[in-house]
Structure 1
Amino acid sequence: MKAGSKFLNAVSAFALSAGVVASGASVLMLASAPAAEAAVIRSVQVRGTQRAGEEAVRSNLTIRPGVAFSSTDIDDSVKKLYSTGYFSDVRMSVSGSTLIVTVSENQLVNQVVFNGNRKIKDDKLQGVVQTQPLGPYNQAMVNADIQRIKEAYAATGRSDVEVTTQTAPVGQGRVNLAFVINEGERTKIADITFSGNQAYSTGRLKAVIATKESGPLSFLTRKDVYNEDKLHADEESLRQFYYSHGYPDFRVISSQAVLDEASNKYNITFTVEEGERYQFGNVDVESTVSGVSSEDLKGLVETRSGDVYDSRQIQKTIDSISKRVAAAGYPFARVTPRGDRNFENHTVGVSYMVDQGERAYVERIEVRGNTRTRDYVIRREFDFSEGDAFNQNMISRAKRRLEALGYFTSVNITTAPGSAPDRVVVIVDVEDQPTGSFGIGAGYAAGGEGFLLEASVEEKNFLGRGQYIRVAAGGGLDDARSYTLSFTEPYFLGYRLAAGFDLFKSQTSSNDYYKYNEQGITLRVTAPITDDLATTFRYTYKQIKYEDDGGLGDDGLPFTADDNVSAPYAYLINKKDFSQSLVSQTLTYNTLDSQTLPREGFYVTGTHEYAGLGGDSDYYKISGRARYFHTLSTEADLIGSLAVGAGHVFKTGDDLNVFDQFTIGGKQIRGFKNDGIGPRSVNHDDDAIGGTTYFTASAEMSIPMPGIPEDAGVRAAVFTDAGTLYGNDVNMRGDALQGTSMSWRVSVGAGIMWASPFGNIRVDYAEPIVKEDFDKVQQFRFSMSNQF
């Protein structure tokens, strides 16, 4: 028998045994794998193509002339052709030594349009659907797009949206596709209730969760949109709140959302069980790692016997011990807290067990869900890379770093088994959020200075690269102008160094007697020392210019001490041009639990500065400020804070210039202008000379505004500020000076803070109760910042 006849008989036998499988197409399947290994074709013939082309079909086949094939190859070829989306029917058959592939092409999409959509714009929906112009029209893909559109509307609270499609042929196998959308009414949240809560009121717990009841401004915040995943996140927020306030047995029994179809509103009920409130009992550390002493690790423990149980302190202790043990050469070490509960006196003893842990390595890191932030911005927050030792504590640390960036609404890190028992895949799921902000600051000063305004735009995740950029401009009725451009690269040269620059220019005037112009640049780099401590180095170069503003003396000559400006300023105006060249270092210690509304922690800064690297200034300055936040009442959400500050400047050459000394006021002591206190000219009391030494102190308490739901984000504050600025090393050139002694100023006031849909708004009114006659007062201050 000839070889061709043998081949034909074999193929015919396979065809009879396989039959025909129909699934939108008739496909001849070869089922006998052992026999198929002997089947070989010499050529492939393609029929039915119009636009795709024969080569496009052949390139998607797994069968090749001269190569043995089986029914699996037939099946794979059909699947690949269907997966292109260009074909509605695929048939395969064998004739002699030729494989015949017959296809029917899908129509092509000429245009995709959206009708009826008002709440979600076309460009947003175009990013949702996968059907695109010049692509194939595939009904399965269109059905999936309908579901994607519904999900996009559900995220805005419109879960009853209806989506249909219409097609219109335009010739040459092309169609226009229209998604017809009936948006329906927005689903709202009528009521959120809690059951089983005794320690904290319903209002206090509403402030903890992200889901909010519908209100007049909900159309801006979108926080009243029901979402099942969001509800689960709220459950976790409640758990963390209770765990950090002494309730280790807390659990959410259920969270139910019931839709009232008549009103199209949800009623959400959280049923909780708080348990008893506990304190820490005995705390100990036990180490089985050779060369690592338990006694040496005890100094890292954050939990203290007698303190209220706080899961955050346990996590901080685990992190500190893990880093110390890893630094000692044990990257796989594991720190496990073990609780010893005493039900009678309501204490929880904690023993931190340190052991070698299992050896495991990171096979790869997968980043998912980031639509804007670049992958490398996320990966660099991990202390390990692919191939490094796996440590669960490093995962927790990276999660907190990613959350602290403020780039994401949610961060979830999980692990999966790798390709070997000692390999782990780290999966990072994130969801991007707006990171730009628009800010407005304003104030009003009595005495003719009038309204003061500053506006700024900033983006802390520029182009998804994690870079920070800010542009600000300000002005007032007294010809004051200011402009600033700032940029920061948080990982300079691939290291955890935040390098950047600030360009600035400003102009102020003094009762039309003179103008002060300043412009320059600051170069800076910040390096972390620990998770809480960082240092910043800066170099600044300034050009300073004083000029008259049409206020010359009666004799028409340049200013002197006898004219309308003090002698030190007359000297500056006559000399006109100055420059400063200075370097500084700042240490920052930050343990705040939140950067927006801190309830616990310290924020401390200390700076020393030297000017004398050229220029007209020669001095050494040292200054600092510390602020402490503490929750005075968790139930009432009463937050207290204390702040102190101080500074002194030493001259290292000749006399100081006016602009070398400190000026303080409304930013440190509310109720005064920014340069409202301190030494001034006796005969020309509009001229602030500044001082060599200052001290400030402040105390503030804030509480949710009575009569307004706590989750509205409105808080009331009362405060008192105190401070003094004194001393002088400026050559007064015969002019008399007042305010050089250590005279304290004190103000009291009240403020309102609102985390509004438009941004964080704060209004303060302060009244000086201790001041000097020559001080400059500004009782009212307003500020606002907003995310976009």
Structure 2
Amino acid sequence: MKAASKFLSAASAAALSAALVLPGALAVQFVATSVAEAAVVSRVEVSGNQRVDAETIRNYIAIKPGKAFSSADIDSAVKALFGTGLFSDVQINQVGSTLVVKVSEYKVVNQVLFQGNKKLKDNALQAAVQLKPRATFSQQALDADVEAVKAAYRRIGRDDAAVTTQIMDLGDNRVNVVFNINEGARTQIAAINFVGNSAFSSRRLSDVINTKRSSWLSFVLRDDVYDEDKLRADQELLRRFYYNHGYADFQVVSAVGELDEATNKYTVTITVQEGERYNFGDISVESTIPEVDSKSLESVVETHKGDVYNAKDVEDTIVALTEKVAGSGYAFAQVTPRGDRNFENHTISVVYTIDQGTKAYIERIEIRGNDRTRDYVIRREFDVSEGDAFNQVLIQRAKKRLEGLDYFQKVDISTVPGSAPDQVVLVVDVVEKSTGEFSVGAGYSTGGDTPGPSVEGSITERNFLGRGQYIKLSAGGGKNSRDYAISFTEPYFLGRRIAAGFDIYKSTREYNNHYDSDTTGATIRFGLPITDSISTQLAYNISQEKYKVDDSCLTNGTYIPGSPCTISPAILEGVEQSPWIKSSVSLGLVYNTIDDMKNPHEGLYVTGTTEVAGLGGDAKWVKLTGRASVYQTLSEQLDLVGLISGGAGHIAGYGNDGLRIFDQFQSTDRMIRGFEYGGIGPVDTNTGDHLGGTTYFNASAEAQFPLPAIPESFGLRGAVFADAATLYGSAIHTAGVTQSSTDMKLRASVGVGLMWASPFGPIRIDYAIPVKKEPTDDVQEFNFGIATRF
């Protein structure tokens, strides 16, 4: 104990160590006797305080002038003053009728400084330490901060970082705290070895875990840091992966990292025991609640006899049954699955038992660790609040939602007993992570409306001001294009789970040196989740499009057909109609069961949109578009993934104005590879300009696979594909335009592709050979650009 009260009870004196000399013991007993006899003081005097007001100190102790007190009151006063964290020493003495409280204040931190740090900026280290300017200084806090700085360096792979401290006394009870840092060398991961796996390749399992082998991209991705907490989380990822693929007996035997001090590299070895693969056996629902008919609940069960055992399907069924029963008035109902293994047939029969459950209510929700994110951003992800019935399924759903926000490194939800037997306290512990990104990228595209090199820079914040809002500013372009955009999204508009946002954009284009465009527009959008896999979006769009013939095609400011450019009258008509105002409203629906949006292996993604233009403005048309993509693992061992996708669209004008050429669909590499942008469909046979079409259909089949001898950490995968598409129909009736056939004619191509999950976004290179085309089509065998999956 740093301070000792001179007023101790007889019991306290008896407990003193026998090492005390007799005079000292007598002195303690004498003081205690004095207290017992002088139980009232006339005033309380405070000394030693410099920053803390004397009256504030008097308020912390329960002893008041003129009122009786005991030695226990003095013990409590000492503890109370120490408990404030403001004092390094406290002594209380009675001098006559005066109680003297003598304190020594902790020094105050004036500045916290870091020296020698290059890999971690000051603001990152300041967020890691407890000591802050104007905070009280203590050796205990300093020691903890030294460990926190070391831990911050371990998280970026610098295990050998050394930290020393220097305390600079500035006088007036103020100090500067200096952390001197030797960052040391960065560790790497030389190899990740899996032992005991046969059902899945080591490459496939490497895709599942977050720990990655070091590669030439690691300096950007920072995913090759060895971290024991991350490795423990990886074990859970592996368990979930195997459980979702039928291996209910799977175990991680061990997961260790060994450091080679000579090379400063880790070798990670994960030993697994896969067990047998199971299918679902008999599935049934039982209820101990008389009013609940178990037969009526079978329709929501998502596990089916004969299917490969999948733990996620079991969890989804528990959620569905719980919600169904709760909707019937049984808020405390609990659904418990019981699995019966048949080791001979390798099946698991599951019985879902519905019980009334123990009544418990949520007394309060405590949130800890959210230094930046507001409490309400976390609370709104819960479907329960204070006073509601406790429901473990809804709590787990909230945990998944919080993890899905990507605001936190870690989310833990636990319970502690409340103030009554039927009350519980939910404790939500989170660890914040960086949510801001600044990126600069460069690329080269062989397709699109403006091929060539391009650059782009953007600033993105997913948790703006800790309010959960999304904001992005971007600018970019190439030789013939410029793009600027601002996007903002409030995910909980008016406190409801409705995403509301807007986009403002401006773009300029130079098309084939024939004509230029300048488009300025804005979109207001609202998104609403209907279920966990279905969502809808309503949007209003308004834009102004300006077109002009390129100066290089003008003679003395006037376009003369054929000299020096030949431009279709349909294009000239569109140019002459500018500026063109488009005002439209769109409604879209999305169904998404993809397992991993960054690296899909299973699932279905379907989207459909209806857009109507004509709410004011010049454009009057109705556009229907839809697309579906199905992913299916073809070989677990080879990590071979199949993709079948298809799309369709149709646009039709109404009113007297009809459609412009710029309203019609143009073919893209997303519609069919092996052809130029706008390279298929009806053509002005006089000028060779493609006019686009009013209807399109396309389909594609693709197999994706890892590249042999290429480490998985490089993010490279190969593909073989076959595409088919048609673009037909035309609403162009411009005088002087002679169109080729507008009938539906199929095009097809086959090819190979290379996909790279780069730090700047997914990039893809395709080589496609048309195997069915028309004489007027424009072929482009190579295509390079930003990849889009959905």
Above 0.5 in TM-score? Answer: yes
Give 1:671's aligned residue: 674
Q: Is the 8 A contact 1:284 1:350 kept in 2?
A: yes
- Residues 512 and 551 in structure 1, CA contact (< 8 A), matched pair in contact too: yes
Counterpart residue type for residue 586 of structure 1: G
Residue 469 of structure 1 and its aligned partner are, at CA, apart by 2.4
Alpha-carbon distance between aligned partners in 1 of 2:409 and 2:253, rounded to the nearest angstrom: 25
2:144 aligns with: 144
Match of 2:180 in 1: 180
TM-superposed deviation, 1:631: 0.8
CA distance in 1, matches of 2:359, 2:303: 29
- Greater Cα offset, 323-332 or 195-204: 195-204
Deviations 1:144-168 (A, max 9, x none): 2222222222222333333222334
8 Å CA contact 1:368–1:427 kept in 2: the answer is yes
Alignment of 1:500-519 (within 5 A): 500-519=501-520
Give the TM-score normalised by the residue count of structure 1.
0.89
Q: Could you tell me how far 1:337 is from its partner in structure 2?
A: 1.2
Secondary structure of 2:203's match? helix
List gaps (5 residues or longer) in structure 2: 18-24
Superposition deviation, residue 719 in structure 1: 2.0
Judge conservation of contact 1:682–1:738 (CA < 8 Å) in 2: yes
**1:86–1:463 CA distance, 2 compared to 1 (3 A):** closer
Aligned equivalents of 2:82 and 2:144: distance in 1? Answer: 16
- Quote the residue 1:409 is aligned against: 409
- Using the size of structure 2 for normalisation, the TM-score is 0.89
Q: Aligned partners of 2:448, 2:542: CA distance in 1, in Å?
A: 34
1:578-629 deviation digits (Å, cap 9, x = unpaired): 2222222111111111121111111101112222222222222222111111
Q: Distance in 2 between matches of 1:31 and 1:278?
A: 78
For the pair 1:723 / 2:733, whether they are aligned, the reply is no
Residue 574 of structure 1 corresponds to: 576
SS at match of 2:88: strand
Is 2:453–2:478's contact at 8 Å kept on the other side of the alignment?
Answer: yes
Q: Which amino acid aligns with 2:380?
A: R
Aligned pair count? 769
Structure 2 equivalent of residue 3 of structure 1: none
Aligned pairs for 1:585-604 within 5 A? 585-604=587-606
Which residue among 609, 612, 616 is the counterpart of 1:610? Answer: 612
Residues 7 and 31 of structure 2 are in contact (CA less than 8 Å); yes or no, is this contact kept in structure 1? Answer: no
Instruction: Tell me the CA shift for residue 56 of structure 1.
Output: 4.3
CA deviations 1:343-368 (Å, max 9, x no partner) are 11110011122222222212222223
Provide the C-alpha distance between the structure 1 equivalents of 2:424 and 2:461, rounded to a whole number of angstroms: 35
**Aligned to 2:684, which of 664, 681, 685?**
681
1:769 — aligned with what? Answer: 771
The answer as to 2:350 corresponding to 1:332 is no
Q: Which residue is equivalent to 1:7?
A: none
| Identity across matched positions, percent | 50
From 648, 651, 659, give the equivalent of 1:656: 659
Structural mapping, 1:30-429, within 5 Å? 39-261=39-261, 263-429=263-429
Q: Match for 1:460 among 453, 462, 473?
A: 462
Report which stretch shifted further, 320-329 or 495-504. Answer: 320-329
Contact 1:619–1:656 under 8 Å retained in 2:
yes
- The letter for the 2-side match of 1:420 is A
SS in 2 for 1:398: helix
- Alpha carbons of structure 1 residues 104 and 500: separation in structure 2 relative to 1, 3 Å: closer
Q: Retained in 2: the 8 A contact 1:37–1:70?
A: no
Q: Which deviates more, 766-775 or 576-585?
A: 766-775
Q: State the distance in 2 between where 1:118 and 1:530 align.
A: 47
Query: Counterpart of 1:738 in 2: which secondary structure?
Result: coil
2: CA distance, partners of 1:561 / 1:296: 75
- The answer for the alignment partner of 2:21 in structure 1 is none
Per-residue Cα deviation, 1:628-678 (whole angstroms, up to 9, x for no partner): 111111121111111111111233223222233222212322333433322
**Cα 1:413–1:288 shift into 2, 3 Å:** same
Task: Tell me by how many angstroms 1:126 deviates.
Answer: 2.6
What's the CA shift for 1:311?
0.6
Q: Tell me the CA shift for residue 134 of structure 1.
A: 4.6
Give the 3 Å change call, closer, same or farther, for CA 256–522 of structure 1 in structure 2. closer
Q: Take 2:399 and 2:227, find their aligned partners in 1: how far apart are those partners?
A: 23
Structure-2 change in CA distance of 1:739 and 1:389 (3 Å): farther
Which residue does the alignment assign to 1:565?
567
Mapped to 2, the partners of 1:573 and 1:191 lie a distance apart of 60
Unaligned 5+ segments in structure 1 are: 1-10
Q: What is the rounded CA distance, in whole Å, between the counterparts of 1:447 and 1:583 in structure 2?
A: 26
In the TM superposition, what whole-angstrom CA distance separates every residue of 1:539-562 from its partner, at most 9, and x where no partner exists? 222222232333667697567799
Q: Deviations over 1:462-508 (max 9, x none)?
A: 3332222233444343x333333222211111111111122222333
Q: Secondary structure at the match of 2:551?
A: coil
Distance 1:470 1:181 in 2: 35
Deviation at 1:177, TM superposition (A): 3.4
Deviation at 1:236, TM superposition (A): 0.8
Alpha carbons 1:534, 1:589 under 8 Å: kept: yes
Q: 1:147 to 1:504 in 2, by over 3 A?
A: closer
Q: 1:694 offset after TM fit, Å?
A: 0.4
Q: Which amino acid aligns with 1:597?
A: N
8 Å CA contact 1:309, 1:348 repeated in 2: yes
Compared with structure 1, are the counterparts of its residues 641 and 576 closer, same or farther at alpha carbon in structure 2 (3 Å cutoff)?
same
Residues 423-474 of structure 1 show CA distances to partners (whole Å, capped at 9, x for unaligned) of 2222223333344454757444489965053625233333332222233444
Is the 2:162–2:183 Cα contact (8 Å) retained in structure 1? Answer: yes
Partner of 1:529: 530
